[in-house]
Amino acid sequence: MQKTSFYLGLLPFSVLFSVFAYAENGIYFSHQDWEIACDNVGTCQAAGYQANDGDMPASILLTRKAGAKQAVTAEFVLSTYEQHAPVEAKSLKLYSNNIDLGQVNLDSDDGELITGKLSSKQVQALLANSQQKQNIQFKNAEQQQWQISDLGMTAVLLKMDDVQKRVGTTGALIKKGTASEQNVLKAKALPIIHYVKIDPKPIRRIQPEQPEYKKLAQILFKSLKDPESCEVIVDGDQWHTDAREPIDIARLTADKVLVSTFCWRGAYNEGYGYWVMNKNLTGPAENVTTAASDFDQGIIYSSQKGRGIGDCWSIAQWVWNGQKFVQSEDFWTGMCKGIAAGGVWELKQISTIVK
Provide the b/e sequence for 10-32 (b: ≥16 CB within 10 Å).
bbbbbbbebbbbebebbbbbbee
What pLDDT is stored for residue 3 in this prediction? Answer: 30
Contact 87, 81 (CB under 8 A): no
What pLDDT is stored for residue 163 in this prediction? Answer: 97
SS3 163: helix
What pLDDT is stored for residue 283 in this prediction? Answer: 80
SS3 322: coil
DSSP characters over 53-103:
SSSS-EEEEEEE-SSTTPPPEEEEEEE-TT-SS----TT-EEEETTEEEEE
Q: Is 278 left (phi over 0), alpha (psi -120 to 50) or beta?
A: beta
Residue among 325, 168, 197, 323 at smallest CA distance from 260: 325
Indicate the pTM of the whole model: 0.90
Residue among 45, 63, 49 at smallest CA distance from 339: 49
The set of residues, in sequence order, having a beta carbon less than 8 Å from that of 128 and lying 6+ positions away, is none
CA dist list (Å): 167 to 118, 133, 231: 25, 21, 43
* Cα gap 96→121, rounded to integer Å: 12
SS3 112: coil
* Cα gap 204→247, rounded to integer Å: 8
Pairing of strands 270-278, 286-292: antiparallel
* Cα gap 204→251, rounded to integer Å: 9
Amino acid identity of residue 55, one-letter, is: D
Residuewise pLDDT in 10s, the chain (355 residues): 233 334 333 333 333 443 333 345 799 999 999 999 999 999 999 999 999 876 799 999 999 999 999 999 999 999 997 766 678 899 999 999 999 999 999 999 888 899 999 999 999 999 999 999 999 999 999 889 999 999 999 999 999 999 999 999 999 999 999 999 999 999 999 999 999 999 989 999 999 999 999 999 999 999 999 999 999 999 988 988 999 999 999 999 999 999 999 999 999 999 999 999 999 999 899 999 999 999 999 999 999 999 999 999 999 999 999 999 999 999 999 999 999 999 999 999 999 999 9
Pairing of strands 145-148, 204-206: unpaired
Instruction: Give the fold, CATH level 3, of 42-163.
Output: Immunoglobulin-like (2.60.40)
* Cα gap 175→182, rounded to integer Å: 17
Kindly calculate the radius of gyration of the chain based on its CA atoms and give it in whole angstroms.
Answer: 23
Domain positions in the chain are 42-163, 192-354
